[in-house]
Structure 1
């Protein structure tokens, strides 16, 4: 009852702040009460048009099911070089049945390293929430990029040059992942991380030769929630000897949302520093910060209704900034959006919906849901929860964390990420805070600034927005290579590229 009264007070206070009669009036978008419209807006800004809102199928008639695992080696059609065989490529795609789900099957791509199969296994998780990891696979750090005629071209800076690379469509219902039971739609990180842990157990059962390799978790944006929860779940499973031991060495968050209380407070500071808003705007918008902060504290780490309330309250901060910013691309302030279009990722949908591609992957008639508005809405109760709380224990057990951020991203800006990383209480906090900031040099040029102590590193990446591997592919590959080899400070030799001649 007490929490309901507190929430009612917060919402009343918010309405007063939003009133035109108030000198603190903020801009609330007309669709603020309809998260589905906000999800649709996100999808349209990327020029994506998924046929379905989520992959919950009524029947398995046309779905690729059968044994516990359905996997095949594959070779994409329209690959620029067709002389190499599927066996030589070492590319896999398929489904695993998620053991502790009701009826979920999770789809993935696995690309063996172009260099050495003993390279680390790196899993990538795209955020959204609800966007397919194929977005990163084709536009950021995967083995290929898609040309205008929908043929595939080798990516010179694909992360498979230094790792065995996994992309997973998650949460359930995203991408090609599907279920026949709506109870498999996830609403929190317990559900998401348990599914991913079950996925890994199935993957390493099928590929035991890779279970001995070092394992790293990576991703960006809303994956700032997924990644710490998943890392904690893997570490907990290892300690409890639940199944196959996963050789977890580290986790990396790129331009992520991890600690909303600190990150939402950084919006106005970042916007003012970048010249997006004026000091008068800054003072006006900041009047809602105490309400936002109180709402997030009520949400905590496991709230439900309180977390929804904090989402609505705190969203007015970002919405007010964007009302002033106009057509600025909030993923990259150097760019502008044209109408509803901020990026054009439509080639991905066209490519993956081709009959020849679907046959190569063995996905049957399952739709490709590039971004799922249903998953987005389902995860709203999770949005304002603080996922930083589980990180200190991982750091103190020697699990490495790299937080990196492109300097021109507004929505998950480097300033908010730097602040939560510095504020995090762990055994090495004092030493990390006092450690020097040094240049992150690539080929003799400063590609960013780096701060590191013990298990924790923070990297601000120059000339990059929200999607660092897309904007700075060479620097991001070097970042991954150095980090997984133990030293972000040092330089490493280029590995032999066994398929560079393709």
Structure 2
């Protein structure tokens, strides 16, 4: 989100509120929609020169399955380190279930040990680039105001070999020349990601033995469970290379809309964003929202789009009362069109030296694609929690974490769907008491866990936990992957050795 109308945003969660502002938002760039939405969209540069990225001209890219190169950013200070020693890669993968789609990705080998787990990070939107997370959250480095890079002391590459993917097709530097390649549901998204992972591990066979984890935030609360189920299915069917899936983590995600939308008014009242009279009034919208979501679940199609409009009235009403609050971090005011300014990333990725280093040539960078977003509208109100219990029963670890200051995908709604999820450990999970999550001896959150399931509320953090609490986020990831984000019988959290 940016404060300048000439800069574009790659907020991972940008669209999670855009549709609530404008129920008249159209799937066509040429049809009229509300002036509020137009201001937001123009401010994001969401209508690039082409509605989706167009075909690259590199002949090697046209014929090869996967094309990858090692690179260094020209402004990255790494004294004494060669390209090979850094282990930084970018690449394009030709999606086999498409006519002309290519998926762009970054891969950063661990700064600690190549035996560390492999982690894939998925940004939400739907349709927003993972470069936001890379440069502002948990990537190896951060951008400065003069567009140089500094090493991130809490980058997740300190505990993992991490992949950042621009997906679905049309997002970031990913592209196609055929609009039929744009995905509309989680089946299409998860199949593309599964195919990519198969190609990735074929390209990097030395990592196939490593543990594998899926992570992400916001609308990735849809992507992540879908991909985890797809990988697990592929492993069971022996479809290709066995992917050593151990778990997945959802940060401030949208996973079970029916439960999460009901939590908006409770969260807003508790945090003083609305008064009791407002609460009672807005809650009258909840039954219609519940009914619309249930209809979406049984009938699908346009009923899912309708449910999105119906339910977002709840969020819109809260925002109209709360005023200029930052809906991603209610401690702050919303400054600029969309509350944050990440224009430095856009400027950085438009530099010729950077584009040459990445191997993307003159490819347009689409930070948040309106085409991808519109294509996924009928997916929004789908409940992705339904596939998680089967994964838990097979021992796949699940971590749901949420910054306590986020409104749009707030911790309360996430906690409630986790509590309500039916699996063999539901009762024990519900009865487990919340205990402190400690970082350097200080309480950084509260944790509930039982067996393979854990829920962590992170203090002093908004929607983007790794940006707001980088040390706590890295500790969380590291302990969880080691199986140490758990409780002892006495209720104490287990600390890493």
Say yes or no: TM over 0.5: yes
Preserved contact between residue 25 and residue 37 of structure 2 (Cα < 8 Å): no
Q: How does 1:97-108 map to 2 (within 5 A)?
A: 97-108=94-105
Cα deviation per residue 1:48-92 (whole Å; 9 max; x = unaligned)?
6673464341x4436853311111000111112343111100000
Of residues 135, 140, 145 in structure 2, which corresponds to 1:143? 140
Between stretches 374-383 and 75-84, larger displacement belongs to: 75-84
Task: Kindly provide the CA deviation profile for residues 227-261 of structure 1, in whole angstroms up to 9, marking residues without a partner as x.
Answer: 00000000000000001000000000000000000
2:147 equivalent to 1:156: no
Give the CA RMSD over aligned residues.
Answer: 1.8
Unaligned runs of 5+ residues in structure 2 are 1-18, 28-32, 486-492
Structure 1 residues 294, 53: closer, same or farther in 2, change over 3 A? farther
User: Judging changes above 3 Å, is the alpha-carbon distance between structure 1 residues 360 and 317 closer, same or farther for their aligned structure 2 residues?
Assistant: same
Match of 2:440 among 434, 440, 443: 443
Q: 1:453 aligns with which of 432, 450, 453?
A: 450
1: distance between equivalents of 2:57 and 2:160? 37
Partner of 1:491: 495
Alignment of 1:200 onto 2:204: no
- Does residue 190 in structure 1 map to residue 187 in structure 2? yes
Task: Pick from 292, 312, 315 the counterpart of residue 312 of structure 2.
Answer: 315
Query: Which residue is equivalent to 1:231?
Result: 228
5+ residue gaps, structure 1, are: 1-27, 494-502
**1:336 and 2:333 matched:** yes
Shift of 1:436: 1.2
Distance, in Å, in 2 between the alignment partners of 1:313 and 1:180 is: 34
Distance 1:483 1:35, change over 3 A: farther
* Distance (Å, rounded) in 1 between the aligned partners of 2:299 and 2:347: 39
Q: Please give the secondary structure, in 2, of the residue aligned with 1:65.
A: helix
Alpha-carbon distance between aligned partners in 2 of 1:491 and 1:52, rounded to the nearest angstrom: 51
Structure-to-structure mapping, 1:285-296, within 5 angstroms: 285-296=282-293
Separation in 2, partners of 1:196, 1:448: 32
> Residue in 1 aligned with 2:16?
none
Whole-angstrom distance in 2 between the partners of 1:215 and 1:264: 31
Query: Could you tell me which residue of structure 1 aligns to residue 107 of structure 2?
Result: 110
Secondary structure, counterpart of 1:95 in structure 2? strand
Distance 1:363 1:70 in 2: 11
Which residue pairs with 1:383 in the alignment?
Answer: 380
Q: How far is 1:353 from its partner?
A: 1.1
- C-alpha separation between the residues in 2 aligned to 1:42 and 1:210? 42
- Pick aligned residue for 2:217 from 215, 220, 223: 220
Q: Which position in structure 2 is the counterpart of 1:12?
A: none
Match of 2:57 among 58, 61, 73: 61
Query: Is 1:33 aligned with 2:30?
Result: no
**Residues 442-472 of structure 1, C-alpha deviations (whole Å, 9 max, x = no match):** 0010000000001100000000000000000
Kindly indicate whether the alpha-carbon contact (under 8 Å) linking 1:249 and 1:400 is maintained by their aligned counterparts in 2.
Answer: yes
Matches within 5 A, 1:239-254: 239-254=236-251
Question: Could you tell me which residue of structure 1 aligns to residue 9 of structure 2?
Answer: none
Query: Which is worse superposed, 95-104 or 419-428?
Result: 95-104
2:213 and 2:416 map into 1 onto residues whose CA distance is 24
Aligned to 2:10: none
* TM-score relative to the length of structure 2: 0.90
Does 2:467 match 1:476? no
Shift of 1:103: 1.5
Q: Could you tell me whether the CA contact under 8 Å between 1:224 and 1:256 is conserved in 2?
A: yes
Cα gap change, 1:197 to 1:288, in 2 (>3 Å): same
Asked whether the 8 Å contact 1:54–1:174 carries over to 2, the reply is no
1:49–1:103: structure 2 CA closer, same or farther, 3 Å change rule?
A: closer
Following TM superposition, by how much is the alpha carbon of 1:339 offset from its aligned partner in structure 2, in angstroms?
A: 3.7
Structure 1 Cα separation of the partners of residues 72 and 51 of structure 2: 27
**Residue deviations 1:393-429 (CA, integer Å, cap 9, x gap):** 0000000000000000000000000000000000100
- CA separation of 1:385 and 1:86: change in aligned 2, threshold 3 A: same
Q: State the alpha-carbon separation in 2 of the partners of residues 70 and 303 from structure 1.
A: 38
Aligned residue pairs, count: 464
The more displaced of 59-68 and 234-243 is 59-68
Aligned to 2:369: 372
Distance 1:412 1:124, change over 3 A: same
Q: 1:50 to 1:377 in 2, by over 3 A?
A: closer
- Give the aligned partner of residue 14 of structure 2: none
- 2:436 is paired with a residue whose SS is strand
| 1:145-176, Cα deviation, whole Å (9 max, x unpaired) | 00111111000000000000000000000000
C-alpha distance in structure 1 between counterparts of 2:204 and 2:117, whole Å: 14
Deviations 1:308-360 (A, max 9, x none): 11001001000000011111000000011124141111111111111011111
- Kept after mapping to 2: 8 A contact 1:56/1:182: no
Give the alignment's TM-score, normalised by structure 1.
0.89
